[in-house]
A and B are shown apart, each in its own frame.
Chain A
Amino acid sequence: MKSKLSLVGRYTLLSLVLIIGSVTALSILHMRVAESITERLAGQHLEAQMAATANRLSAFLDNRIYQLETLSRHPAMPLYLAYTEAVPDGVQELVRVEADSPDLYGILFFDATDSLIQVVAGQAASGPPYWGTENWSLADLPRVQKNNTEIIGPALPRAGQPGWLLIRQPLGYLFDESAEGAVGLHVRLASLTEQIRTENLAGVVRPYLRAPGGALLDPTGTAVPRQPAGLVRGPEVFPGWHIDYVITAADILSPLRNAQLGMYGLACLMALGTVLLFWALARSLRRRIDRLVQGAEAFSSGDLHFQLDVPGPRKDEIDQVAYAFNAMAQRLREMIQRTIQVEKMAVLGEFATGVAHEVRNPLATIKLTVQALERREADMRRRGLLQDVEGEIDRLNRVVGDLLDYGRPVAAEPEHFEVRRAFRQAVAMTSSRARELGITVTASGDSRLLLYANPDQVSQCLVNLLSNAIEACGGVRGAGGSVRLRAHREGARIRVDVTDDGIGVAPDVLPRVTEPFFTTRAKGTGLGLSITRQLVQLNGGEMNIESEPGEGTTVTLLLPASDHVNNLQKHYHADTNTDY
């Protein structure tokens, strides 16, 4: 069953809401800050700045007018109009010094007909009218008048020459009061326009100087060809001369606006990325959860061997669930097996007790009777038959004994003993059968390793394993073959390997060889390995079997090592291929 809105879908929706909410909040904050900056930059401060700029421009013109008055009111100055040669050196010096002002090109004198008659070049003088008067004229230039001061121009920049204006005052003739000439300051236009620069508002307010005649000049004195949009008429500083301006807050705020657009773009990318990420995440999550669901369904249907894939290093939450699921399945399998085993052992115990009671006593009676008959029997053939019966009774008795041992195991009573003791007993007890089949039994390893276990049970286990190994070797060749016992330390335990080069065990059979009553031999009871494993476990050990058909089998016992081994170890040395 699929939910309408998955958990991932909810997270996606929540993330989108958070992103959009954050961007909206930041956008509102940005707009308020931008409005505040605009207000601060172009609002309340603008008026004061414009007034300061107008004052600066007026002061510049006033200074020039004052400078001009120094000349126009000088009593010797009219000599320039009619008697140039008679101008005293001191007066010429004065005029040259005044002309050397960095804001002037020079000082010009005009006669009564408004013709230029004298020029005094200043520091910035160049070209006409100082060196040649061609293309230099006052005609067509706008003129404005205030009191006795006339401003002519501006002459706009052209042909690689900067612009200029003329500030002029009348100059009387010495002996002709009816005629009037003029003296003028030839002023750099850029010196005037530079006064409108707005230091503090640079970038926010763009000032322009509107000159008589309509020309619009920027602060460098360059004529602006097209009137900029949003031009505002500012204060008048001289008749016809205005400071106009354009508020260009957009320019200074453009980084903020760009940042805002960038923020929107980034938010869109983040939203898109989030959707894609969650979509991919949802796909992956759904696939993995589907697998979990599939496992749970298999489990519920009784398939306890179903295993979920758990990649090694990932180990995220889903992996942990899968891992726990697998572990649960395995523990459940083990628990069920243990339960079955316990129940089986309980039944077997009862059965074994019953059998022992019902079979052993009659068998003892039968054996005594057979032995008595045997002693009195003279016919050797009959005696042989009776001995066979006796042998079969013994075998039957052993089977019953094994059954009783397996069904009612005796608790181990561990003690410290050397492994060679168990080896020696086991080899001795199986040596006759080994010789009979021509099997070589060897032992190797550290002969003095100490075990902490029940020595009789360990010996019994080794006898069982050696017997199986000898029979396995005999089964493949009939004669020959070898069985090797090896003991060495492995951590806190002693490892004992019983290895043969016999017929081996088929892989499909191997898991069952320790089950009770399972045997591949006609004369086997199927209890040897079951009892061995049971005894090993009773002594706190483990038993593993590895086998390769046609190559042989190795049964490994891991038994507790004696604590005393640490104290005794220095007296022993590794000794391989030691005979017992």
Chain B
Amino acid sequence: MTFWRYLTPILWLAISPLAADESAAAAEPVGRVELGAPAAEADVTVACMYPMTGRPASYGRDSIAGIRVALAELAQQPDAPRLRVIVDDSRSKASFAVRMAEDFIAVDQADILCGMVSSGVGLAVSRVARKRRVIMIGTDHASSRSVLEEGHRYYFRVSSDTWYSHAAGARYLKELQAKTGWQKLAFLGPDYEYGRVAWRDLRQALGMLGVEYQVAGDYWPKLYEPDYTLYIQSLLESPPDILVTALWGGDFNAFIEQARTTNLFQQMAVANFDTGGNYDTLVALGEDPPPGLILSARHHLNWPDTERNRRFVQAFYELSGRYPSYSAQGAYAGMLVIAKAVAMVGDVSDTDAMIAALEGLHIELPKDPEGFTSYLDADTHQIVQAQAIGRPVASDRYPPARVMLGGWVVYEAELLKPSPELVQRRRGGRAN
């Protein structure tokens, strides 16, 4: 029974038409969509995988909208290469995504793979990319293992990963300890690649900064867990001073919704350094957020307050009628990075030249504060960006959210960059 239950959709995938109706996908895509130039006119075919169903579907929808914004921007540049972008629903499952990636390469002749929200899916597809020697641009999944232990020459990431966000978080916690003297730390993360690496990155960063603390507990609910009662109860029974969580999206919103019915937020500060400042969470906080929240995300609507960022947010809003989550900025950045590399190389089929172009590529992105330009680190292939951490403050600037982050503490990009020694240690002496 189990076999046939899963085999049926696999067969359906195999026989489904490769080109979906673009007009239908323009509304709220839930299956394959093709964007940009037609196959015959395209300079490069980019195949992306995002979840379009289930709890993380909003990330997939925002990523597609981010790609549309990027394509519209590129269309205004006469010399920009023409991108053909295929997007399909990974369903947040490695098995689906791996099969999909193989088909993209074999059937669609995809030149570049991109996307993935789940780190587990991202790593699985990354292995396909390495095996098939196809460049992969990670736009969202944030496990630092992707660029460190599992990094390879075909893999690049264009948004902050767990190391950058938790290196910034560790510095924030160190400064906070000097003020409040907190001692006990607990971690609550989804039990999969992303949560595990986030916790390891945080502990490693705290250790490198010499922060002394006690671990009051680490808790591992499964991804997309609907009920956090057990974990909230355990946290209340042995309360830490600080709870760092790597829950994201609907999981983090569900946790806050349940926890705010208890006195958890009165007993401990709750920090989420990588995803907690996402726009959908700020909307879910309402006008009366629980106290003690310390949040950040891979992109913020109101930081940096630059023309570049405002233009991106406005373009996204005009296109979709809503404000973007950080995943949108990642997908948008991915398209711009690919376009710039193709423009530099000219021939996307020259993979080595493309890799050389991507390594060290500088590109202006909405997340760049004044005076800084994001770039892809030649060694790790991870984009180097600053991190800003804040707390919820009342704001009606981006409705329906009633709060935005404020009271920013900004950590410069170069400060967060993993040291060569750390990279070597994480890679076990292996070169990329």
Q: Do A and B bind each other?
A: yes
1/0 per residue, CB under 8 A from A, across B83-127: the answer is 000000000111110110000000000000000001011011000
A399 and B208 CA atoms in complex are apart in Å by 129
B123 touches A131 (CB 8 A): yes
1/0 per residue, CB under 8 A from A, across B144-166: the answer is 01000110000000000000000
Question: Which residue in chain B gives the minimum CB-CB distance to A123?
Answer: B120
B120 touches A126 (CB 8 A): yes
Would you list which residues of chain B between 193 and 210 have a CB under 8 Å from chain A? 193, 195-197, 199-200, 203
A289 and B423 CA atoms in complex are apart in Å by 96
B203 touches A94 (CB 8 A): no
B199 touches A160 (CB 8 A): yes
Q: Which residues of B contact A126 (CB under 8 A)?
A: 120, 191-193, 195-197
B7 at the interface (CB under 8 A from A): yes
What's the interface size class on A, roughly? 35 or more
Question: Which residue in chain A gives the minimum CB-CB distance to B194?
Answer: A126
A90 and B99 CA atoms in complex are apart in Å by 10
Task: Name the one of A96, A127, A202 contacting B196, with C-beta atoms under 8 angstroms.
Answer: A127
A160 touches B95 (CB 8 A): no
A197 touches B230 (CB 8 A): yes
A127 and B124 CA atoms in complex are apart in Å by 13
Q: How far is the CB of A159 from chain B (nearest CB, A)?
A: 9
Would you list which residues of chain A between 78 and 112 have a CB under 8 Å from chain B? 90, 93-94, 96-100, 102-103
B196 touches A161 (CB 8 A): yes
Q: Which residues of B contact A218 (CB under 8 A)?
A: 234
Q: Could you tell me the dominant secondary structure of chain A's interface residues?
A: loop
Q: Could you tell me the dominant secondary structure of chain B's interface residues?
A: helix
B123 touches A121 (CB 8 A): yes
B217 touches A222 (CB 8 A): yes
A239 at the interface (CB under 8 A from B): no
Task: Name the one of A96, A157, A188, A222 contacting B222, with C-beta atoms under 8 angstroms.
Answer: A188
Q: Which residues of A contact B191 (CB under 8 A)?
A: 124, 126, 162, 188, 190
A127 and B197 CA atoms in complex are apart in Å by 8
A126 and B198 CA atoms in complex are apart in Å by 11
Q: Which residues of B contact A94 (CB under 8 A)?
A: 3, 6-7
Would you list which residues of chain A between 183 and 223 have a CB under 8 Å from chain B? 188, 190-191, 194, 197, 202, 218-222
Q: Contacts A190-B221, A220-B234: A123 and B92 contacting too (C-beta < 8 A)?
A: yes
A102 touches B222 (CB 8 A): yes
Q: Which residues of A contact B234 (CB under 8 A)?
A: 218, 220, 222
A99 touches B95 (CB 8 A): yes
Q: Which residues of A contact B120 (CB under 8 A)?
A: 121-126
A67 at the interface (CB under 8 A from B): yes
Q: Which residues of B contact A74 (CB under 8 A)?
A: 3
A302 at the interface (CB under 8 A from B): no
A67 touches B2 (CB 8 A): yes
Task: Name the one of B3, B94, B187 contacting A96, with C-beta atoms under 8 angstroms.
Answer: B94
Q: How far is the CB of A80 from chain B (nearest CB, A)?
A: 16
The tally of residues in B whose CB lies under 8 Å from a CB in A reads: 43
B172 at the interface (CB under 8 A from A): no
B2 touches A70 (CB 8 A): yes
A93 touches B219 (CB 8 A): no
B220 at the interface (CB under 8 A from A): yes
A160 touches B222 (CB 8 A): no
B231 touches A220 (CB 8 A): yes
A97 touches B230 (CB 8 A): no
Q: Which residues of A contact B203 (CB under 8 A)?
A: 160
B10 at the interface (CB under 8 A from A): yes
Q: How far is the CB of A91 from chain B (nearest CB, A)?
A: 10
B75 at the interface (CB under 8 A from A): no
Task: Name the one of A66, A67, A125, A194 contacting B230, with C-beta atoms under 8 angstroms.
Answer: A194
B241 at the interface (CB under 8 A from A): no
A132 at the interface (CB under 8 A from B): yes
Q: Which residues of B contact A97 (CB under 8 A)?
A: 6, 10, 93, 95
Q: Which residues of B contact A102 (CB under 8 A)?
A: 222-224
B7 touches A123 (CB 8 A): no
A98 and B221 CA atoms in complex are apart in Å by 20
A202 and B233 CA atoms in complex are apart in Å by 10
A131 touches B150 (CB 8 A): yes
Q: Which residues of B contact A191 (CB under 8 A)?
A: 222
Q: Contacts A93-B7, A97-B6, A100-B95: A123 and B192 contacting too (C-beta < 8 A)?
A: yes
B230 touches A121 (CB 8 A): no
Q: Which residues of A contact B221 (CB under 8 A)?
A: 190, 220
A100 touches B94 (CB 8 A): yes
B379 at the interface (CB under 8 A from A): no
B377 at the interface (CB under 8 A from A): no
Question: Which residue in chain A gives the minimum CB-CB distance to B143?
Answer: A126
Q: How far is the CB of B12 from chain A (nearest CB, A)?
A: 13
Q: Which residues of B contact A161 (CB under 8 A)?
A: 196
A127 and B193 CA atoms in complex are apart in Å by 7
Q: Which residues of A contact B230 (CB under 8 A)?
A: 194, 197, 219-220
Question: Which residue in chain A gives the minimum CB-CB distance to B200?
Answer: A160
A352 and B99 CA atoms in complex are apart in Å by 146
Q: How far is the CB of B251 from chain A (nearest CB, A)?
A: 12
Q: Contacts A70-B3, A93-B95, A190-B191: A160 and B196 contacting too (C-beta < 8 A)?
A: yes
Q: Which residues of A contact B187 (CB under 8 A)?
A: 160
* Additional 18 contacts, C-beta under 8 A, given A93-B95, A121-B124, A126-B197: A93-B6, A93-B99, A96-B94, A100-B95, A102-B224, A121-B123, A124-B192, A125-B120, A125-B193, A126-B191, A160-B200, A161-B196, A162-B218, A190-B220, A197-B229, A202-B233, A221-B220, A222-B234
- 24 A-B contacts, Cβ less than 8 Å apart? A93-B99, A94-B3, A94-B6, A96-B94, A96-B98, A97-B93, A98-B6, A100-B93, A121-B120, A121-B124, A122-B120, A124-B120, A124-B223, A125-B193, A126-B192, A131-B123, A131-B150, A160-B203, A190-B221, A197-B230, A202-B229, A218-B234, A220-B230, A222-B217
Q: Residues on B close to A: CB < 8 A?
A: 2-3, 6-7, 10, 92-96, 98-99, 118, 120-121, 123-124, 145, 149-150, 187, 191-193, 195-197, 199-200, 203, 217-224, 229-231, 233-234
Q: Give the top 6 A-B pairs by smallest Cβ distance, nearest first.
A: A96-B95, A97-B6, A162-B220, A126-B196, A126-B193, A124-B192
